[in-house]
Amino acid sequence: MSPQEPVIAKPKDASGSRPAVSTPTRRQYWTTLRAMLSPQRFSLREEQFFLLLAVLIGILSGLAVVCFRLLIDFLHLKLLGSGLQPSVPRVFLAPMLAGLVIAFLVIRFFPRARGSGVNQTKAALYIYDGYIPMSTVVGKFLTSALAIGSGQSLGPEDPALQIGAGLASALGRRLKLSREKLRLIAPVGAAAGLAAAFNAPITAVLFVIEEVIGRWTAGILGAVVLSAISSAVVERWFLGDEPLFRVPAYHLEHWGELGAYASLGVIGGFASLIFVKYIAYLRPKLRQYPNWTQYFQPAAAGLLIGFIGIRFPQVMGAGYSYMDQAMHEQYTWQILAVLGALKILTTGLSFGSGTPGGLFAPTLFMGAMIGGAVGMAERQIVPYLAIPVGAYALVGMGTLFAGILRAPMTSVFMILEVSGNYSMIVPVILSNAIAYFISRTFQPTPIFDLLSRQDGLDLPSLEEEREVPLLRVEDAMRPPVGQTLTGSMTLLDAQQKVQGSAQEFFVVGMGEDEWSGISRANLLETPADSELDIPLSVVLTRRIPYLHPDHPLDTALRLMGEWPLLPVVHRANVQQLLGVVSLDDVMRAYRGAGLHENHAEPAAVVP
Amino acid sequence: MVLAVTLLLIIAGFALTQYLVNLHRDTESSLAQRWSTRGQQAMQAQMPAAAADCYRTALSYDPDNGQYRLHLAQALLADNRLAEARAHLNSLWEEEPADGEVNLTLAHLYVRRGDYSKAVRYYSNAINGVWNEEPRAHRIATGFELANFLLQQHQLAQAQAELVAIQADGPANPADQLLLGNLLLQVHEPQRAIQAFDAVLQRQPDSAQAWLGKAQASLVLADYKEAEHAAAIAADRDPKLDGAQQQLDVVRELLRLDPALRGLSLAERSRRTAEAFELAMKRIDGCATQQGITLTSQNASAATQSGGAGASSESPATDQLQRRYRAGVQKQSSATEQALRKDPDAIEPTMQFVFDVEKATAAICPVTDKSDRALLLLAQHEGGR
């Protein structure tokens, strides 16, 4: 018996005495136990370890984001007081003085804390091999909390995303992960941070896939989902599982309502456009000023915001409670429109001045206000529709999210997730699609790409990548014309068949879903007379890979190897040859030529 | 090793975060409480706008607190911000559709908006809803409110139904029984009103208001003796009780003037009828003077000469008074005590004339004299006798 095998007591025999077996000693017990608990037994493959790590990252990020939100509330209370309408001195002084402190901290200690967390996570993924310094996490945590808590018009989601990514990066470095995994770990943390900040794991997963990673791959998807879920669980554990907004009941009752939502899409689209153009103009403009002015720019922005905040305190900070109020018809449409416009102004000031903080919450705020205003105005114009204003405000959020952040999938699912109301799906999709289309038409560069280019980073534009048409095998293949060869033909028959052909290589249908190939020169080599009646299937022992028309063209490149020609076959019937593709064909397709050329060269065989 | 440190970090992080969250919750809870108290003070000081701000702040610290939201809605309602109040009440109603207080506040909202049917619906929901404290008392109070609202809307039948339902529930509180009795009187349910007043008197035999109510109900039922008895006790128990002495005087006057009381001799009936006739003629005269109407105008004479059906160009009130005056003048000779004694059959038509005059003049001039009030009551009961 090997030491690892457990010792089993054997049954007594008929006489009641035990059979003659050796009784395990104490040492054997210990040996067995040690073997059961040995590290080798628990060792994980890197993929499994990565998933476990994603859970740990989710928990850590969740904890960090909960503390971040508590710090924002604490600072808000201390700086602006407990009332919804802060006193005038506080409104003036708090954002301005906080702006001075923030500028000092950012310029002197945490230079990478300014700017978009999304872009910095993308930079970590594409440029810095997953590296986000811990000082950036600390800096983002402190300066963003101070900015939002003091009333700067910014949101906590983007910093939370970067805090999550930074924690993940730090943990990955400590664990000495491979370069590939270290690169991917930052988006995993980003999803966790965003999920905890939004209390919406699906939204976080989609956003990270759509905007940071840019592609769906099974390897990363599992980790992103796990980290987002564990982070959201931690957040809900501490702060409760209430959704962000109390959404009034809504059902689509009249198809005319879709017209109303379409008009919201148009208005939201142009509002998004104004905001993005404003940021695109203001940010570089403020950076042109001498360096010393950057110490005062957040304070100046804070002063202006404070001035606005005396009359409209709603525009200060993230403003989630006011979005809730807008959804419950607590403002007139005129006030809602003014709040939407002022939020565009104040967020531009805060963000343009380099104050750390995110654009998610302000985007939702603008959407809620503009949506509410449109809803109330439409209610007066078309009273028979009687759509609740809350529904407009909610759809407005998604509309501005799609128009400004240009994440159309995320914008739809975000609204469904934060509202928990799937009857909104048609209006949300319609309005978001219109806003997205308007924004893309008049502002081809998405805001995150715009910001990264302003910062001198050439990060891949995932929206642009999505727009690049994917080349497929069908774009390069040639039709199957010419002589046909099959595995059942004898060498003599095959020689006679190719005799008059100018073709250099022939694919051969071998039957049984297999293909092979033979060059003209090899085929015409004169063998001994006795071998001419051997079937091709006996001679051709190597199999040639085949393609389907819908395969991406790079698949053809990877499979091509030493074969000059690959068969393209039908998916339902692999024996049916649809065409052939050569390296030249592939290159021609990539160069944008030859897709519609008439290839006269005959090709292959239909078995 | 790193994993172990990470796990330790997570455990420590959980403990620290839990501590911070508890601290944060305590702070928010005390802030919410503080702002709610300020809201209550503002409401008591009749400053609903300030109260609404306070409750809104309280709610921002404790968004799930339904009481704060309800108080906010009530403050907004008091401040006439009906749309905002409705939004909060609707969200509360969606969460707790059976909550009595939410339904009652929604009823108040729709009363303010003038939406009769919705107001009644929410009042009914409130009556049948869930009340956390003193459910019976709340249901009865809401029932009274609904009955009052229905009375204001002149929906007598519905008000009657509500009050009958309250009576069936048997309010234990004498004050509620008293209110019930008075409301039943308003919806023309004197018999049930007497039951309610008797219920009060069983527990509070000296309740002057209950005696007065009973007197009024008895009067409506034309039980004049009982009415006098009850009114006399009411006036005795509380001489300062508004209307008690007046009621007693009217009932006594009625008993003095009614010629139809049982056991009266012909002479007495004739005397009473003649007195009533004189009072009716005086009533016409007094009312005409009050309205500045000349009873013996040219038109009146002409109309009299042409058989009384002349086309008059005067106002309807003038016309009515002049017409009755002329009829009275024509009756004068047959409405004396002697004439009536000789012709007892004329008693009834004479009293009919008196009742007609009292009803007609009551529509034109206020009734202030106790004799006229007594005759008017007789006139009103005359149809039911």
Interface test with A, best of B10, B81, B109 (most A CBs within 10 A): B10
Distance of CA B284 to CAs A532, B333, B355, Å? 144, 17, 12
Q: A473-590: which CATH architecture?
A: Roll (3.10)
Q: Which domain holds residue B352?
A: 266-302+314-382
Q: Provide the β-strand partners of residue A518.
A: A506
Q: Which amino acid is at A334?
A: Q
Q: Indicate the residue of B18, B34, B87 with minimum beta-carbon distance to A328.
A: B87
Q: Indicate the residue of A63, A84, A328 with minimum beta-carbon distance to B60.
A: A84
Q: What pLDDT, on the 0 to 100 scale, is given for residue A326?
A: 87
Of B80, B95, B127, the residue that ends a domain is B80
Q: Do domains A46-239 and A256-467 have the same CATH topology?
A: yes
CATH code that applies to domain A256-467 = 1.10.3080.10
Judge whether B9 lies within some domain: no
Judge whether B112 lies within some domain: no
**Helix count (H) and strand count (E) of chain B?**
19, 0
Q: Indicate the residue of B3, B10, B20 with minimum beta-carbon distance to A60.
A: B10
User: Which chain A residues touch B34 with a CB distance below 8 Å?
Assistant: 82
Judge whether B106 lies within some domain: no
pLDDT greater than 50 at residue A110: yes
Q: What pLDDT, on the 0 to 100 scale, is given for residue A484?
A: 67
Pure H helices in B79-115: 82-95, 100-113
Share of chain A above pLDDT 90, in %: 39
Q: What pLDDT, on the 0 to 100 scale, is given for residue A598?
A: 41
- Paired tokens of A497: 């068949």
Name every residue whose Cβ is closer than 8 Å to that of residue A191 and which is 6 or more positions away in sequence.
A164, A204, A205, A207, A208, A224, A225, A227, A228, A231
Q: What pLDDT, on the 0 to 100 scale, is given for residue A49?
A: 81
Q: How far apart are CA A72 and CA A69, in angstroms?
A: 5
State how far residue A302 is from chain B, nearest Cα, in angstroms: 23
Cβ separation of A239 and B63 shorter than 8 Å?
no
Place of tokens 């967390």: A117
Judge whether B234 lies within some domain: no
Residues of A with CB under 8 A from a CB of B: 56, 59-60, 63-64, 66-67, 70, 73-74, 77, 82-85, 171, 174-175, 238-239, 242, 246, 248-249, 321, 324, 328-330
Judge whether B250 lies within some domain: no
Q: What pLDDT, on the 0 to 100 scale, is given for residue A23?
A: 56
State how far residue B68 is from chain A, nearest Cα, in angstroms: 15
State how far residue B138 is from chain A, nearest Cα, in angstroms: 29
- Map residue A484 onto helix, strand or coil: coil
- Map residue A547 onto helix, strand or coil: strand
Q: What is the number of other CB atoms lying within 10 angstroms of the CB of residue A529?
A: 8
**DSSP letters spanning A257-283:** HHHHHHHHHHHHHHHHHHHHHHHHHHH
Place of tokens 């009914």: B124
Judge whether B41 lies within some domain: yes
Share of chain A above pLDDT 70, in %: 87
The domain total for chain B is 2
Judge whether B38 lies within some domain: yes
Q: What pLDDT, on the 0 to 100 scale, is given for residue B37?
A: 95
The model's pLDDT over B348-372, given as tens digits with 9 standing for 90+, comes to 889 888 888 888 888 888 888 888 8
Q: What pLDDT, on the 0 to 100 scale, is given for residue B100?
A: 93
Q: What pLDDT, on the 0 to 100 scale, is given for residue B309?
A: 43
Q: Which of A260, A231, A499 is nearest to A389 (CA)?
A: A260
User: Which chain B residues touch A330 with a CB distance below 8 Å?
Assistant: 84, 87
A582 phi and psi, to 5 degrees? -115, 175
Q: What is the mean pLDDT of residues B221-249?
A: 85
Cβ separation of B10 and A321 shorter than 8 Å?
no
Q: Provide the β-strand partners of residue A509.
A: A486, A515
Q: Check: CB of residue A102 under 8 Å from CB of residue A355.
A: yes
Judge whether B350 lies within some domain: yes
State how far residue A384 is from chain B, nearest Cα, in angstroms: 18
Q: What pLDDT, on the 0 to 100 scale, is given for residue B303?
A: 46
Cβ separation of B2 and A174 shorter than 8 Å?
yes
Q: How far apart are CA A97 and CA B315, in angstroms?
A: 81
- For the four alpha carbons of A177, A179, A181 and A186, in that order, the dihedral sign comes to positive
User: Which chain A residues touch B77 with a CB distance below 8 Å?
Assistant: none
Q: Which of A24-28, A107-111, A531-535, B153-157 has the lowest mean pLDDT?
A: A24-28
Q: What is the number of other CB atoms lying within 10 angstroms of the CB of residue A249?
A: 12
pLDDT greater than 60 at residue B325: yes
Cβ separation of B14 and A77 shorter than 8 Å?
no
Q: Which of A114, A113, A124 is nearest to A212 (CA)?
A: A124
Q: Check: CB of residue A547 under 8 Å from CB of residue A567.
A: yes
Nearest CA in chain B to A235: B17
Top CATH class of A46-239 equals mainly alpha
Share of chain B above pLDDT 70, in %: 95
Pure H helices in A293-332: 297-311, 320-327
The model's pLDDT over A138-193, given as tens digits with 9 standing for 90+, comes to 999 999 999 999 999 999 999 999 999 999 999 988 888 888 888 888 889 999 99
Q: Check: CB of residue B122 under 8 Å from CB of residue B104.
A: yes
User: Which chain B residues touch A329 with a CB distance below 8 Å?
Assistant: 83-84, 86-87
Confidence of residue A76 (pLDDT cuts 50, 70, 90): very high
The model's pLDDT over A50-73, given as tens digits with 9 standing for 90+, comes to 888 899 999 999 999 999 999 999
- Domain residue ranges of chain A, discontinuous segments joined by +: 46-239, 256-467, 473-590
- Map residue A582 onto helix, strand or coil: strand
The model's pLDDT over A24-49, given as tens digits with 9 standing for 90+, comes to 566 777 777 666 655 555 555 667 78
- Paired tokens of A341: 């416009």
Mean pLDDT of chain A: 84
- Paired tokens of B297: 């105008």
The model's pLDDT over A203-241, given as tens digits with 9 standing for 90+, comes to 999 998 888 877 767 678 889 999 999 999 999 999 887
Of B31, B59, B80, the residue that ends a domain is B80
**DSSP letters spanning B115-180:** -HHHHHHHHHHHHHSB-SS-HHHHHHHHHHHHHHHHHHTT-HHHHHHHHHHHHHH----HHHHHHH
pLDDT greater than 70 at residue A331: yes
Q: Which of A404-408, B3-7, B32-36 has the lowest mean pLDDT?
A: B3-7
Confidence of residue A530 (pLDDT cuts 50, 70, 90): low
Cβ separation of B14 and A63 shorter than 8 Å?
yes
pLDDT greater than 50 at residue A396: yes
Of B80, B102, B128, the residue that ends a domain is B80
State how far residue B26 is from chain A, nearest Cα, in angstroms: 12
